[in-house]
Amino acid sequence: MRSPPASGTSGRARVPNIPSTTIGRHVATNGSGSSVLTVNGEQVTVTAAETTPLIYVLRNDLGLKGVRTGCVIGECGSCTVIADGHSLRSCQISLGDAAGMDLVTPEGLGTPDAPHPVQEAFLSEQAGQCGYCINGMIMAVAAAVDAGTIAGEEDARKALEELICRCGTHTRIVKAALRAAGVETEDAGAHGSVERLPGAEADAQAGLPEIVDRYPRMEQWLRLTQEGYVEVDSPKVELGQGISGALRQIAATQLGLPMDLVTLAPTTTGRSVDLGHTAGSNSVEHGGIPLAYAAVAFRRALLERGAALLDAPASQVELTAAGVVRPGTDAAVSLAQLATGEPLTGAITAADVPDWTAAGLGAPLPRADLVRKLTGAGVYLHDLELPGMLHARALLPPSYDAQVATEPDLQQIATAVGARRILRDGRIFLVVAEREDVAIRGVNRLRDAVRWSYDGPDEPVDVLSLLRTLDGDDHQTRLDDGIGEAFAAGRTHKATYSKPYEAHAPMSPSASIGMADGDRLRIWTHSQSPYPLRAELAVLFERDEDAVVVVHVEGPGAYGMNGADDAAALAALAAFAVPGEPVRFQHSMDDEFGWDPYGSAMVADLEASLDENGRIVGYRHRSWTDTHYARPDGNGDRLLVQWLGERGPGRPRFGGHEGGWRNTVPLYDVGARDIVTRHVRGPLRTGSLRSLGSYMHVFEIESFMDELAELAGQDPVAFRLAHLDDERGRHVLEVAAQTAGWEPHVGPSGRGQGVAFARYKDVKGYAAQVVDVRVDPESGTFTVTRVVVVCDAGTVINPDGLRNQLEGATIQSLSRCLGESLTVTTRGVKERNLSDYPLIGFSGIPRLEVVLVDRPGYPPLGTGESATPPLAAAVANAIDDALGVRLRNLPLTAASLERRLLELSEAEMARVRL
Ligand code: FES
Ligand code: FES
């Protein structure tokens, strides 16, 4: 480790674009509703009410979209600007109060072509997943660097502590802050390595993927533009997982062209292939693999056309960045020349087999999309500005059961606040205005004026007890012969585990833009489901599917189904009210939390039978869960507009069950199995949250494996290996144990190290994690200090992109398992904002070490969620190893440790090491 420089400014980058004086700026209102601001060194005049929050002035009046809109209550830091040399949340100051300050926005720091040194530091570290929070981080770091307050890692964490990153990019952000400050330390952030195993031959006999059968023509996947670029129609949408880069990398390597000659067009219904939802860690498998076949076919077509134009046999030409060339001669035809004439078309054949060992795969390419995201460009749906665009905001009921008791005079309120109009659809009120801040003001006025009635009092709900009592559908995943005998003969052990309801808690409330033109509707959305959303909207608004076009534009990370689809339907509702004019709708954070399709609470009872050799011979599993699937599917009954509007009185329809029993079958040989999941309809609207039911099922299975190992008198790693035949699974476990310095032990060792393993969905990437915890013996509180993550995802497309995903999934999972939980009452949830919901901060981030097991030639496996499920069990196992206290209910907090200590039996107390 290199020593950080002594405090002071030695070795630190300056922040040259921040004005250092206050001369020449200024002025407040001039009496005519105009204010003069100094922004990025220039004076600008703004016509708006003095009370308008600065964030709306910067974003909407001045078009400075690098100031991201987030919580808008001062909690997240996305909107941070530098004011008089200090970082300032622009949602927390009015236009009038800002008029005397020198303001710098991300656009004032640098540009995509000429990034500021702090922006460069973030780009060098690839510090971003969805990237939505990063401009705020950059501004806070720039101010701290300029003030000379970052001399080491603790300083960097302190400068960032009050900012939120929901994707879990914390380690890279800290590294970037240190790099920007000129502080070099190997301890900051994540570390990683790649273990490259022998490659596998491409299998030409394997046949075409099923998705290629559905979209068998190359022109359905890619095309040559007149400018000489190969344009891929994105089959999956970018969620911050870096799929846009991976798709370009896959296409480029199979075409044999440099990546900068391959571009990606956004997923648009009617033009892109319809691969349903971007979810379930399927993007590379379902989108990338078929694209690779299409790219091989396209390369063949390019060579054939080039050979014809060069009048040469196809076997004597090559495809290069210069086009199709004839080696050894000057003969060449450029890609732009190849694009003249008829578009290249043709079938993808079984001979168009991708080469998964091609040069360029496995290369750590920087994400091109981060350049604009991290240098202030308006790249998100929230930033999209269409000519003449109006703004809409909603007043929704304060709870599921609230009914409108008294409706005020809507026209009067619209006139009073200067809104274009206010419309009511059932329990939805929509304010449409020319200015966003006016729409918000209208909603605030409405909130004061509308009176609601409720079905009953607001009372707490004991969720875990309730779930067991509800009627539901049982799904028997396994019932093996011999289950009765297995339990009759062996020594049995039982345990019950649980998880709470959790929120998606995105960095910004969901948004969408709608535009209606007669019967036709165009929607811009950050939904993960462009085609299913189109089908849903068509039914909901009684239009032909062909009359609805859905265009994907990136948004802040969603981590499942959040409010994006609801926002699209609300934008459509607003758009039909003002035909011919584009309307941007955005949820409030209160509604994003209050109407979220939450991750379901779950309970599970596990029971196992051990034989005299300590081998598991029988396994019973009973679990209770609400649905993990509520995405739009074309029935018109999944979204808020249907639920709360006039179109239907019902809650969104109960979704499918697969997510509830996902990963319930252990990968281990556990003898005879009896596994049942009951799907119930709980008190809250639920849907998909990252890794769905796997998060809970891996927590319970991997915690239980540790409990059984101790009963069997075996080391937790050895016990797992003794029950695991899958070679790839064994390998990641062994590498994780070795990397973490695992010391075999039976029962609590006092060291505070825990292990867990899973193969996500039983078919995706393998991941093993080893966690170290440190316990404060005085308070009983614990801190996760280190996490080793080992992942086998088959062929690694982009190691740094994969590592970034694994880091994010690990930190986000840590946030969930250490604190995230919703308080349920008869009226919904208590937590209605980021300030109510305990997301992990920079002080709680452990050292991360990521090892990738690269298997060139093996099909790439989805890994967006692989590192999410094992983490909670690894933490619980580490706590047990440290303290001798088994925590079985998520989240794992100091309070839950205290509760657990009070309920321990005498025998359990004998293990406690406090
Ligand atoms: S702190 Fe201003 S948007 Fe969150
Ligand atoms: S990268 Fe921080 S919220 Fe997505």
Residues 6+ apart with CB under 8 A from 625: 467, 600, 601, 602, 660, 677, 678, 679, 680, 693, 696
Residues 6+ apart with CB under 8 A from 363: 249, 798, 799
Bridge partners of residue 828, in order along the sequence:
825
Q: What is the pLDDT of residue 779?
A: 78
Angstrom distances, CA of residue 503 to CA of 281, 435, 510, 594: 20, 30, 14, 9
Evaluate: CB of 380 within 6 angstroms of ligand 2.
no
CA 837 – CA 501 distance, rounded (Å): 12
- Distance (angstroms) between ligand 1 centre and the Cα of 76 equals 5
Average pLDDT on 392-402 reads 96
Angstrom distances, CA of residue 473 to CA of 59, 470, 679: 49, 10, 5
- Residue 821: Cβ within 10 Å count: 22
Q: What's the mean pLDDT when you consider all of the chain?
A: 91
| Nearest Cα residue to 209 out of 301, 298, 294 | 294
Residue 1 has pLDDT above 70, yes or no: no
Tell me, yes or no, whether 55 and 120 share the same domain. Answer: yes
Q: How confident is the model at residue 192 (pLDDT cuts 50, 70, 90)?
A: confident
Residues 6+ apart with CB under 8 A from 640: 396, 428, 566, 569, 570, 595
- Distance (angstroms) between ligand 2 centre and the Cα of 96 equals 31
Report pLDDT digits (tens) over 721-754: 999 999 999 999 999 999 999 999 999 999 999 9
Angstrom distances, CA of residue 500 to CA of 280, 402, 684, 816, 820: 21, 24, 12, 10, 8
Strands 824-825 and 42-47, bridge-based pairing: unpaired
Average pLDDT on 715-726 reads 98
Residue 191 has pLDDT above 80, yes or no: no
Ligand 1 nearest atom to the CA of residue 68, by list position? 3
Bridge partners of residue 605, in order along the sequence:
496, 622
Let me know if residue 572 belongs to a domain.
Answer: yes
Evaluate: CB of 165 within 6 angstroms of ligand 2.
yes
- Residue 318: Cβ within 10 Å count: 14
Q: Is 356 exposed, middle or buried (0-12, 13-18, 19+ CB in 10 A)?
A: buried
Tell me, yes or no, whether 294 and 222 share the same domain. Answer: yes
Interior angle at CA 509, CA 508 and CA 514, nearest 5: 120
Q: What is the pLDDT of residue 863?
A: 78
Q: What is the pLDDT of residue 706?
A: 98
Coarse DSSP helix, strand, coil percentages of the chain, rounded to the nearest 5 percent:
35, 20, 45
Tell me, yes or no, whether 271 and 126 share the same domain. Answer: no
Number of residues that this document lists for the chain: 914
| Nearest Cα residue to 493 out of 677, 710, 698, 695 | 710
Ligand 2 nearest atom to the CA of residue 166, by list position? 3
The lowest-confidence range among 12-16, 69-73, 867-871 is 12-16
Residue type, 520: R
- Distance (angstroms) between ligand 2 centre and the Cα of 611 equals 48
Contact 587, 394 (CB under 8 A): yes
Q: How far apart are the first and last CA of the chain?
A: 33
Average pLDDT on 144-158 reads 96
Ligand 2 nearest atom to the CA of residue 168, by list position? 2
Tell me, yes or no, whether 151 and 272 share the same domain. Answer: no
CA 331 – CA 906 distance, rounded (Å): 86
Q: What is the pLDDT of residue 243?
A: 80
Tell me, yes or no, whether 619 and 575 share the same domain. Answer: no
Q: Which of 355, 377, 399 is the last residue of a domain?
A: 355
- Distance (angstroms) between ligand 2 centre and the Cα of 125 equals 14
Tell me, yes or no, whether 223 and 310 share the same domain. Answer: yes
> 56-59: long-range contacts at Cβ-Cβ below 8 A with a sequence spacing of 24 or more?
56/435, 56/436, 56/437, 57/95, 57/98, 58/90, 58/103, 58/105, 59/383
Q: What is the CATH number of the domain that holds 102?
A: 3.10.20.30
Closest listed ligand to the CA of 135: 2
Closest listed ligand to the CA of 56: 1
Rg (CA), the chain: 28
Contact 527, 687 (CB under 8 A): no
Residue 12 has pLDDT above 80, yes or no: no
- Distance (angstroms) between ligand 1 centre and the Cα of 213 equals 47
Residue 205 has pLDDT above 90, yes or no: no
Q: What is the pLDDT of residue 186?
A: 66
Residue 22 has pLDDT above 80, yes or no: no
Average pLDDT on 145-151 reads 96
CA 35 – CA 48 distance, rounded (Å): 7
In the chain, how many H helices and how many E strands?
28, 32
Which residues does a 6 A CB cutoff place in the pocket of ligand 1? 69-72, 74-79, 89, 91
Tell me, yes or no, whether 580 and 641 share the same domain. Answer: no
Ligand 1 nearest atom to the CA of residue 71, by list position? 4
Let me know if residue 693 belongs to a domain.
Answer: yes
Tell me, yes or no, whether 903 and 817 share the same domain. Answer: yes
> Within 13 Å of residue 39, how many CA atoms lie on the same side as its CB?
25
Let me know if residue 18 belongs to a domain.
Answer: no
- What SS3 class is residue 122? helix
Q: How many domains does the chain have?
A: 4
Phi, psi values for residue 255, rounded to 5°:
-75, -25
Angstrom distances, CA of residue 671 to CA of 487, 615, 742, 820: 10, 9, 27, 35
Q: Which of 296, 327, 355 is the last residue of a domain?
A: 355
Q: Whose CA is nearest to atom 1 of ligand 1?
A: 74
Closest listed ligand to the CA of 129: 2
The token duo for 72 is 């808008």
Strands across the sheet containing 472-479: 472-479, 672-680, 616-625, 602-610, 491-499
Q: What is the CATH number of the domain that holds 232?
A: 3.30.365.10
Residues 6+ apart with CB under 8 A from 403: 397, 427, 452, 453, 454
Bridge partners of residue 191, in order along the sequence:
849
- Distance (angstroms) between ligand 1 centre and the Cα of 250 equals 37
- Distance (angstroms) between ligand 1 centre and the Cα of 88 equals 10
Q: Whose CA is nearest to atom 2 of ligand 2?
A: 165
Angstrom distances, CA of residue 460 to CA of 538, 825, 828: 38, 4, 9
Q: What is the pLDDT of residue 258?
A: 94
Which residue among 126, 141, 166, 811 is best mutated to probe the pocket of ligand 2, counting the most ligand atoms within 8 A of its Cβ?
166
Closest listed ligand to the CA of 242: 2
Tell me, yes or no, whether 77 and 141 share the same domain. Answer: yes
Name the residue range of residue 47's domain: 34-188
Evaluate: CB of 287 within 6 angstroms of ligand 2.
no
Evaluate: CB of 242 within 6 angstroms of ligand 2.
no
Q: Which of 594, 623, 651 is the last residue of a domain?
A: 594
- Distance (angstroms) between ligand 1 centre and the Cα of 71 equals 5
Tell me, yes or no, whether 242 and 157 share the same domain. Answer: no
The lowest-confidence range among 201-210, 593-602, 796-805 is 201-210
Question: What share of the chain has pLDDT > 70, as a percent?
Answer: 94
Tell me, yes or no, whether 317 and 404 share the same domain. Answer: no
Report pLDDT digits (tens) over 408-446: 999 999 999 999 999 999 999 999 999 999 999 999 999
The token duo for 911 is 């293990």
Let me know if residue 492 belongs to a domain.
Answer: no
Ligand 1 nearest atom to the CA of residue 164, by list position? 4
The lowest-confidence range among 37-41, 383-387, 637-641, 676-680 is 637-641
Tell me, yes or no, whether 775 and 879 share the same domain. Answer: yes
The lowest-confidence range among 95-104, 341-350, 791-800 is 791-800
Report pLDDT digits (tens) over 782-840: 899 999 999 999 988 888 989 999 999 999 999 999 999 999 999 999 999 998 999 99
Let me know if residue 98 belongs to a domain.
Answer: yes
Ligand 1 nearest atom to the CA of residue 76, by list position? 4
Helices (H), 161-241: 170-180, 210-214
The lowest-confidence range among 97-106, 182-191, 545-554, 700-709 is 182-191
Let me know if residue 19 belongs to a domain.
Answer: no
Residue type, 829: V
Q: What is the pLDDT of residue 181?
A: 97
Q: In whole angstroms, what separates CA 697 from the centre of its chain? A: 20
Let me know if residue 464 belongs to a domain.
Answer: no
Evaluate: CB of 557 within 6 angstroms of ligand 2.
yes
Ligand 1 nearest atom to the CA of residue 70, by list position? 3
Let me know if residue 495 belongs to a domain.
Answer: no
Q: What is the pLDDT of residue 749?
A: 97
- Distance (angstroms) between ligand 2 centre and the Cα of 512 equals 19
